[in-house]
Structure formats: C-alpha cells, structure tokens
Amino acid sequence: MKKNKDQKVWHVNGNVQFYNHAGVQMPLLDNTIYLLCVSDKGFYLERYKDTFEMPIKIYGSDEKFANRVVKTYKAKNNNLGVLLNGIKGSGKTVTAKMISNKLQLPTIMVTHEFNGSDEYLASIEQDFIVFIDEYEKIYKKSDALLGLMDGALSGSNRRLFLLTTNETRISEYLLDRPNRIRYKRSYDQLALDVIKEMVEDLLHNQGWKNEVITFISKLHVLTIDIVGNIIEEVNIHNELPDNFHEFFNITLSQKSYNLFLYNNENGNDKELLAPDLDEKNDYSNYDKEDIDESIWCKNRYLGKAMTLSEDGRFIRVELGESEHTDKFFALKGKPKGTTISVAYEECGYQIHPNFSL
C-alpha cells in the first residue's frame, strides 16, 4: 500500500525510536513500555521493557478495580484518567502496572516535565497509555497536560492516563472532573486480612506469628513494603522484631485510645467499642472540617460523621452500609441509618494482640 507523504512513521535505532515524516521503519509502536526522552534532535522514545514484571503473588491485589478500568476504557471512545493516591509501598504502582499489562497497549512512562511534551504525545497517531508515577512531583503545575487529557490535542486517538501520587494536593482542575480523572482511588493502611496472609505465607517460624502480628500492629505506617521487610528481617536473623526495632527504619505509634459508644452523651451509659486503638485509628485530631467524612475503626467502616461536640470528644455518626457493617453492628441491633455517638479516651500503651474488637 502506498503511504501518504504526510504520514508519520517511527525510525528505529536500537532501543531508540524517533517520530517523523521521513522513511518507513515502523508505522506503529509495539505494545511495549517506553520512556519519554528528549535530545537536541527533539523528543524520542526509548524502549524500556516488554512488559511490567509482577510478583508471583500480589498481596492486597486490586484486580477487581483494574478490570473495571480496562472494561471502561474499551467501552469508551475518548480518553480516560485514573489517579491512584497513597503512601509509598501501599500498592498503587502495582495496580497501575497491572492495568497496563491487562490492556496490552504501548505504555509511555513520563519521568520528567519536558516543555512541549503534551504536543509531542498528542502527535502520536495511535492509542496508548501515559503512565506518570509520582505525578505531583513531576508536574508541580498540574494543568500541564489538561489539553491532552481533554482530547483537544489528541484527534481521534485515545489515551489512558495512569497517575500515581503520594499526596492529594492535586490541581483543582483534576479533582472532581471525571471527564479528565474518572477514577480516584486511595491506598491507606493495610487491612488485617492482608497482614495475616503475608505473615502466614512469608514467616518461616509460624510459632512467632502472633508476636509478629502484634508488633506490626504498633507501626505508625503499614504498607506491603514495610510488612514484607520486617518479616524478611525476622527470617534472616531468626529473632523477633522487638530485638531489632530500635535500629530498623520504622516508626512506632506512641499513643493508645479506647473508643466508646455512648447512648447518652451527658450520662455514663457507655459501651467499650474498641480497646487500645493506636494513634493512626483514633479521632483525637478530628475537627469540624472533617464532617461528612467516613469514620473507620480498625479497618472497619462505621458510617459518616454528622456532628462534633464543642470539646471535640464526641463524634455523632450515622451508620452506613459496608461489607463490615453486619459484623460490626448487627449484634448490637443497630441498623443502617441509626445515629450513634462515639468518644475516645486516652489509655495506657497496649496494642490489642489480634486487632479484634
């Protein structure tokens, strides 16, 4: 077939590919992973790897969400944006790589903010994925890619934007704009079932299982990376975390609270709801700006915060639906929509050994 003289094609030189009008080397990008680069000759793509390597077993797998993104992208005829937010090591980058592998499209990784990169990416005449890890660090002015996200620069081709961030301080032009960022998913502390699964799979001495889980529960930050490294340290040196935590690069929580359910804020009719919460689960820093936020307790959803007492001790919560609601409240006979009050009281430092209520 005779090619249009204006049709752009890729020139391949080893792992480097330039996009221009001269010659015919490769009409379309392969479904592999590329790095966006620039030289005195202009922008080019460097072949990075064929596919993202994934661990044999993915703990806390977000495959259901990844499948949803893939299905939505295939059903739409325009661009799609996905923002994955969370602390380092929480699994957001693994989810992004999973989505890329599932879609089997060319994936272009952007690791620096290059002036004019939006126009260059828009000039590529095929569908592909734009993957930007730690987006908030690379694009400090988050409006740099808005034209490309909106499709104004893209023509008839579609892009999937995979953005990961460690912070939620993202441009107002991205948040609450589903035409640009359709999905915004947050990754927080590990759930108990994931921690138990990791310990059961990875810990050599299963006789130490409860001690290791108890220690992990004291950590200020709980991520897959941190839990995995602690278990590895236990295995290598055949000693419990209490013997090495002073020089291991982790932070322990410093406070503990009891959480009570109050049937009457002004009386003494209270029921212990959760003993020995560490500071990452307490509500002592809760303020009126957090009204309407979801209230969780030890990875279990209570409901939505309605009001806060003047002294900040009591939070009025309207119970809501969740997969945990039946376990958490059904035995107490409190159905969805019931309004309760919860209050915290500081107690001695002691972590409940099995995270249970």
Residue 271 is inside which H or E element, if any? strand 270-278
**CB–CB of 260/270 below 8 Å?**
yes
* DSSP H stretches of helix in the chain: 63-75, 92-103, 117-123, 135-138, 146-150, 192-202, 209-216, 224-237, 325-329
pLDDT in tens, 82-115: 999 888 878 888 999 999 999 999 999 999 888 8
What is the mean pLDDT of the segment spanning 235-243?
A: 96
The domain segmentation of the chain, as residue ranges, is: 9-187, 192-243, 256-347
Higher pLDDT, 353 or 107: 107
Q: Topology of domain 9-187, per CATH?
A: Rossmann fold (3.40.50)
Output b/e per residue, 165-195; b: 16+ Cβ within 10 A: bbeeebbeebeebeebbbebeebebbebebb
pLDDT value, residue 5 = 47
- This model's pTM is above 0.85: no
pLDDT value, residue 227 = 93
Query: Is residue 116 very low, low, confident or very high in pLDDT (cuts 50, 70, 90)?
Result: confident
Higher pLDDT, 223 or 292: 223
Query: Is residue 353 very low, low, confident or very high in pLDDT (cuts 50, 70, 90)?
Result: very low
> How far, in Å, CA of 305 to CA of 341, rounded?
9
3-class secondary-structure state, position 146: helix
274, 301, 317, 330 from 311: Cα distances, Å = 21, 24, 16, 30
pLDDT value, residue 176 = 83
Query: Is residue 160 very low, low, confident or very high in pLDDT (cuts 50, 70, 90)?
Result: very high
